A = this chain, B = another copy of it.
Amino acid sequence: MPTRTPATGLVEIFTGDGKGKTSAALGVVLRALGHGLHIHIVYFMKGEFPYGDQKMLSELPNVTFARFGFESFVDPANVKPEEKEQARKALEAAREAMLSLKYDIVVLDEVNVAAAWNLIDVDEVVKLIGDKPASVELILTGRHADPRIIEVADLVTNMVKVKHPYDKGILSRRGIDY
């Protein structure tokens, strides 16, 4: 029997250069689903790539997601207007989900990168956090979390790469890494 918990919603950040940021957010989602919580995930920079997590999420109850961005990688030195537009729409979607009170948890996947690369303003992310209804949990992922965002978060984990197979020339593997 799923039960809902009147949790105090906090702001969690998974950042750093190591593997596990989006994975950790997804793990929190899986656990929360087991308690009957409702979750919305906004992918800021994932495009239409058939990520395994999205395939699985689309089969689960109580979790929805929206994808923004393009399939091609953003070049931080040469950000395109349409990429900024996508990130702005993602932030709007996240704000709307957060304020709707339909979700216990709203995940902003890769929002830290979007802010670090100036696709969106850090100030707007900080403002969104400031406008958070008390009951909602926000989870922000992505490397390069801005100190101003860390400042207003309740829980911050820095995922530090100790070893990564990329360093040995092993490429990203379907099923495991995406």
Contact = CB atoms under 8 A, between A and B. Distances in A.
Interface of A: 4-5, 7-8, 10, 12-14, 16, 18-37, 51-57, 104-105, 137, 150, 153-165, 168, 170, 173-176, 178
Contacts of A53: 27, 30-31, 34
Contact of A26 (B26, B161, B164): B26
The copy count of this chain in the complex is 2
A19 B16 CA distance: 13
Q: Tell me the interface secondary structure of chain A in the complex.
A: mixed
A8 B171 CA distance: 10
A7 B173 contact: yes
Given A18-B158, A22-B27, A34-B53, A150 B170 contact: no
Given A30-B52, A157-B162, 18 more contacts: A7-B174, A16-B160, A20-B21, A20-B157, A23-B26, A23-B28, A24-B27, A30-B30, A30-B56, A32-B175, A34-B51, A34-B53, A34-B55, A35-B55, A137-B176, A150-B163, A156-B163, A156-B164
